Structure 1
Amino acid sequence: MPKRSPASSLRKAWQQGVRTVTGQVLRAARETAKQPPPHPSPGLGDWIAGLATGRAGMRRYRLFRPAGLVFGERVPLLVMLHGCGQDAAGFARSTRMNRLAARERFLVLYPEQSRLANPQRCWNWFETESGHAQAEAALILAAIDQVCLLYPADRDRVAIAGLSAGAGMAALLATLHPARFKAVAMHSGVPPGLASSATNALRAMRGRSIAPEIAAQGAGVWPPLLVIHGSKDRVVASSNAFEAARQWSEAAGATATRSRSVQRGRRLPMRVVEFKRGRSAAVTLAEIDGLGHAWSGGAAKEPFSEPGGPDATAMIWRFVAKRFGR
C-alpha cells in the first residue's frame, strides 16, 4: 500500500478539522432553532442568545439586558459562570441576578458550557496541564469581548462570579487576565493551582491538595476577591475557601482583620473576615454556617439553590459595585 505524502496527510487533517467545526456550528444552530432559549425573568429585559468561538471550539451564551437603557449609555457587565449540571437559564433562575440587574442597571453575561466539552456541563477549570482550561478561559474572554462590542457594556467595569466549577473557572480567569476584571467572586469553588487534570481534581475538591506557592509578580495585581462557602459543603470542602483567601491575601500582602458574625432575620448565620492592605480589602471571606453545596439565598425548588442562606446575589453585587466606583 503506497504511503501518503506529507501534503496529502496535511490536506486530509485540514478537511477533517473543517468538517468537525462545521458539524459543531450546524448542531448549535439546530439546537437553537428547535429550542428557543427560555426567558428566566420575563418582563424585566431582553434575554439574548449568542455564540463565541475559539481554539476550544465554541460555546453558547445568554445575555440579560435590562429594559430602559438609553442610547449611548454604558453600563457595568457581570459575568456569571454556572456550576455542574446547570445551564444559563437555570443559573439565572436560581440566582435571580437578572432581577437585581434590572433594578441596578447592569448587563449579565451567562456563558454556557457544552456537553461535548464536559458531559455534566462542568467548566474544565482543572485541565491546566493540557491547556484545556486556558482555552476555555479564552472562549469566555471572547464572549466578553463580543458583548462589549455589540452591546452597551463598559469595558472598564467588568466583574466575574461563579458557582462550584464556575467559581474555579472565574478564579482562574482572574489570575490569568487580572487587568480584565475589577472584581471576582467565588461561591463554593476551588482556587487555582490545586489541580492540573481530572485525576487530581477530586482530591482538590476534598481539600487534600498541596497548596501552591504564590509568585511574587502576582502581588497587588489580582482583582479583589469575595469568597462565599458553606460550612457543610460535602462536594467542595470549605478548606478551599480558606485556601483561596490565603492565595489572594498573600499575593496582595494583605492581613486578616477580626472576624465578625452576621445574621439577618432567620437566614443562616455567617462569619465574615476581611483581608486588608491599608484601607482596601483584597479579600472578603464569608463562611455560612449550615450551608451545603448550593447558591446561598437562591430561588426555592431550583437545583443547587438554598433559599434559607444569606443573599449571595446581593452580596456579590454590593462587593463588585464598590470596585466599579459607585
Structure 2
Amino acid sequence: MNRITRTLHTLTMASTLAAGACAPTGAAPAPADGPAPGASAPAAWEWHTFTGPVGTRRYRLYVPAGYDASRPAPLVVMLHGCTQDPDDFARGTRFNEHAQRAGALVAYPEQLAEHNPQKCWTWFDRAHQAADAGEPALIAGITREVMASHAVDPSRVYIGGVSAGGAMAVNTAAAYPQLFAAVGVHSGIPWRAAGDVATALGVMRNGPARDAALTDSARALLRASGRESIPMIVFHGAADVVVVPENGRRLASQWAVAAGARDFLRGDSTEGGLGYTRDRYGPLAELWMVEGLGHAWSGGSAEGTYTDARGPDASREMMRFFLEHTRP
C-alpha cells in the first residue's frame, strides 16, 4: 500500500470507526423477498464479467422474480464504497428488496483491490472523470451490456452509490448524460470538486471551495449534452466526519442551480429515531440531511458494512426518486 492510499484509508477508517458507523458483515441472505406469488421465474443473483476497450470488471446482477422479457424493466446501477463489494453493499442497503417491488434489475460493478488497495472507485482522478476512458467507461459498458442482454427500458436507467461509489456515480452520469435518467448519491462529493488526492482529502475534511466553478461546470455539461437537467437525490449524515456534510449540500445545489431550479421547499421530520431535513428543488434535486447519522447508509441493515439502521430508508427513497424520472 503506497503512502497516498494509506493516508486515504487511515482517514476513512479511523473517522468512521470513531463515529460508530461501521457494522460487521453477516451471512448473505436471500437476494430479495423471494418469488412473488404466481411469478413466472424466480429471482436471480449472478456474477457476470464485462470486458471492453479500457479493461475488465465483474459485476453482480439482480433480476427480480417475475421478470418478463417481453416487458422492458428499469435498470439501476449501484456502486459500492471503499472496502466493500457488491454482496456486502446489496446486503447493507437491501436495495434488491426495493428492486423486487419495483420490478427493476440492479447491476453492482465490482472494484477489486488490484485496482485500488481499499477497493475505492477513483473518483478524484481526472482520468476517471470523463467519457471513453477509465472507470466511467467500464461502468457505462456494464450498463450497456445488461441493456443488451435483458429487456431494459432505455428511458429508465439509473445510477447510484455510496461515498467513493457515490462520487463515481456522478462522474459516470456526467460522462454519459444520454445513458442515465437520474442519479442517487449517499455520502458523496460534488462533481469535479477534486482532481488529485491532496485536494480530495481537503474536500472530504472541509468541503469544497466556495466558488461558482462547480455550478458553472455542471451548467456547461448540461448545455453541451442537450439535457435540461440530470435529476439527483442526495443523502448525507449531518454527523459525518469522513465526508463532511457540506459536500452533500453543495452536490445537490450544484446540479439544481445548474438546471435552473426555481422552486425550493424545505421540510423537517423524523423516521427511524433520527430527525432529518428534506430540501426539494422542484423535481430536479432532493437533499436529505439526517441528524445524528455518520458515514453510513441511512436506514440500512447491520448485515452490511457502513450502515445505520436508524433514519429514513435511503434505498426506498432513491428507488422512489428514480422511478419518478425518465430520460428525455
TM interval, short-chain normalised: 0.7 to 0.9
Matches within 5 A, 1:296-307: 296-307=298-309
Give the corresponding residue for 1:63. Answer: 61
Deviations 1:269-301 (A, max 9, x none): 11011113xxxx211111001100011111124
Give the corresponding residue for 2:318. Answer: 316
2:241 matches 1:234:
yes
Deviates more, 1:306-315 or 1:151-160: 151-160
Matches within 5 A, 1:17-32: none
Deviations 1:28-60 (A, max 9, x none): xxxxxxxxxx77526451112111223442111
Give the length in aligned residue pairs.
283
Distance, in Å, in 1 between the alignment partners of 2:60 and 2:82 is: 17
Matches within 5 A, 1:1-326: 41=31, 43-44=34-35, 45-128=43-126, 134-210=133-209, 211=211, 212-213=213-214, 214-215=216-217, 216-217=219-220, 218=222, 221-255=228-262, 257-264=264-271, 266-276=272-282, 281-324=283-326
Structure 1: runs of 5 or more not aligned: 1-37
Question: How far apart are residue 159 of structure 1 and its match?
Answer: 0.6
Structure number with higher relative contact order (C-alpha < 8 Å, ≥ 6 residues apart): 2
Which structure: larger Rg?
1
Deviations 1:131-187 (A, max 9, x none): 699510000000011111112222221011110001000111122211211110110
Question: How far apart are residue 259 of structure 1 and its match?
Answer: 1.4
Contact 1:175 1:222 in 2 (8 A): no
Query: Match of 1:269, SS?
Result: strand
Query: Match of 1:116, SS?
Result: coil
Question: For residues 98 and 301 of structure 1, do their structure 2 counterparts lie closer, same or farther at Cα, with a shift above 3 Å needed?
Answer: closer
Distance, in Å, in 2 between the alignment partners of 1:51 and 1:179 is: 24
Task: Using the aligned pairs only, state the percent identity.
Answer: 38
Task: Give the TM-score taking structure 1 as reference length.
Answer: 0.81
Question: For residues 130 and 222 of structure 1, do their structure 2 counterparts lie closer, same or farther at Cα, with a shift above 3 Å needed?
Answer: same
Deviations 1:291-317 (A, max 9, x none): 000111111242101001210010001
Question: For residues 97 and 131 of structure 1, do their structure 2 counterparts lie closer, same or farther at Cα, with a shift above 3 Å needed?
Answer: closer
Show structure 1 runs of 4+ deviating over 6 A: 130-133
Give the corresponding residue for 1:24. Answer: none
Give the partner amino acid of 2:289: E
Distance, in Å, in 2 between the alignment partners of 1:124 and 1:157 is: 26
Distance, in Å, in 1 between the alignment partners of 2:289 and 2:264 is: 15
Structure 2: runs of 5 or more not aligned: 1-27, 36-42
Question: For residues 242 and 76 of structure 1, do their structure 2 counterparts lie closer, same or farther at Cα, with a shift above 3 Å needed?
Answer: same
Give the partner amino acid of 2:31: S
Root mean square deviation of aligned Cα? 2.1
Distance, in Å, in 2 between the alignment partners of 1:111 and 1:50 is: 9
Task: Give the TM-score taking structure 2 as reference length.
Answer: 0.81
Distance, in Å, in 1 between the alignment partners of 2:61 and 2:128 is: 30
Query: Match of 1:323, SS?
Result: coil
Query: Match of 1:201, SS?
Result: helix
Distance, in Å, in 2 between the alignment partners of 1:131 and 1:288 is: 28
Distance, in Å, in 2 between the alignment partners of 1:99 and 1:204 is: 34
Contact 2:129 2:172 in 1 (8 A): no
Question: For residues 138 and 186 of structure 1, do their structure 2 counterparts lie closer, same or farther at Cα, with a shift above 3 Å needed?
Answer: same
Deviates more, 1:231-240 or 1:202-211: 202-211
Distance, in Å, in 2 between the alignment partners of 1:301 and 1:195 is: 32
Distance, in Å, in 2 between the alignment partners of 1:258 and 1:85 is: 36
